[in-house]
C-alpha cells in the first residue's frame, strides 16, 4: 500500500484546502499594488494576471464541487474591478473550502471531462498551493511550508504524478526542474511542476 497516499486520503479535500487557504490568503493580501506588473515564476503571467488566474480557479472550482460546469474561456479582471480584491479573494477562497467540504463533493465525477471528483478538487488544491508560492516569490514574501502542510504535499505528490503526462504534453506543466539531494517534499513538488524551488 502507498502509505503516503492513504495518509493523504485520510484528510478530506475541504480540510486540505483549508490548510492551503491559510497560506495563500496572507500572500495575496500582502501583494502591493506596485508589484502587480512584476514577473512571476510562471513565464506567461505577471503578478496581476496570476492573481486573476488564481481568483478564477477559486471561483470556478466551487461550481465543480457542486457538479456544475466551469468556464475558463476568459479570465475576468477581478483585480481591476475594485481595490477590495484582496478581501474578495479571501471570501471566495472561504467559499471554495466550503464547497469541497459539502457532503458528496468528493464523490462521483466532475467537470466536462468526467474526471474523478477528488482529482478535480486536488487540481484546485495544487493551484492554490503552487501559485501562492509563485506570488510569494514574485513579491518578496515567505510561503509558510510548515508541518501542517505535510498532508497537502502528500495529496499533491500523487495528484501531480497522475496529471503530469498530460499536463506536460499540453504545456500546463513545464519540464521537471532538478532539486537538491535531500530536498524537502515542498521543493520536490515545485520541481515536479517545473518550478525552481531555489529561485529568489
DSSP the chain: --HHHHHHHTS-HHHHHHHHHHHHHHHHHT--GGGTTSB-SSTT-BHHHHHHHHHHHHHHHHHHHTT-----SS---SGGG-TTHHHHHHHHHHHHHHHHHSTTTTSSEETTTTEEHHHHHHHHHHHHHHHHHHHHHHTT------GGGHHHHHHHHHHHHHHHHHHHHTTSSPPP----TT--HHHHHHHHTT--TT--
Lowest mean pLDDT among 19-33, 51-65, 88-102, 165-179: 165-179
pLDDT digits (tens, 9 = 90+) for 22-58: 999 999 999 999 999 999 999 889 999 999 999 999 9
The cell numbers describing 145, all together, are 511550508
- β-pair type (109-110, 115-116): antiparallel
Per-residue confidence (pLDDT) for residue 54, from 0 to 100: 98
pLDDT tops 60 at residue 173: yes
pLDDT tops 60 at residue 3: no
Residues 6+ apart with CB under 8 A from 77: 52
| pTM of this structure | 0.93
C-alpha count within 13 angstroms, C-beta hemisphere, residue 56: 14
Mean pLDDT of the chain: 93
pLDDT tops 90 at residue 129: yes
Amino acid at each position: 500500500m502507498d502509505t503516503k497516499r492513504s495518509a493523504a486520503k485520510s484528510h478530506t479535500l475541504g480540510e486540505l484546502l483549508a490548510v492551503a487557504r491559510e497560506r495563500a490568503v496572507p500572500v495575496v493580501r500582502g501583494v502591493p499594488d506596485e508589484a502587480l506588473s512584476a514577473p512571476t515564476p510562471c513565464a506567461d503571467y505577471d503578478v496581476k494576471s496570476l492573481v486573476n488566474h488564481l481568483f478564477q480557479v477559486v471561483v470556478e472550482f466551487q461550481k465543480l464541487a457542486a457538479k456544475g460546469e466551469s468556464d475558463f474561456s476568459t479570465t475576468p479582471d477581478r483585480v481591476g474591478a475594485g481595490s477590495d480584491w484582496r478581501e474578495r479573494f479571501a471570501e471566495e477562497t472561504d467559499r471554495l473550502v466550503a464547497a469541497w467540504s459539502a457532503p458528496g463533493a468528493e464523490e462521483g465525477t466532475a467537470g466536462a471531462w468526467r474526471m474523478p471528483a477528488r482529482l478535480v478538487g486536488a487540481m484546485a488544491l495544487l493551484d492554490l498551493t503552487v501559485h501562492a508560492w509563485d506570488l510569494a516569490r514574485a513579491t518578496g514574501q515567505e510561503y509558510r511550508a510548515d508541518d501542517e502542510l505535510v498532508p497537502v504535499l502528500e495529496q499533491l505528490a500523487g495528484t501531480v504524478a497522475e496529471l503530469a503526462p498530460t499536463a506536460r504534453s499540453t504545456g500546463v506543466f513545464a519540464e521537471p526542474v532538478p532539486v537538491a539531494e535531500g530536498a524537502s517534499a515542498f521543493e520536490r513538488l515545485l520541481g515536479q511542476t517545473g518550478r525552481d524551488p531555489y529561485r529568489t
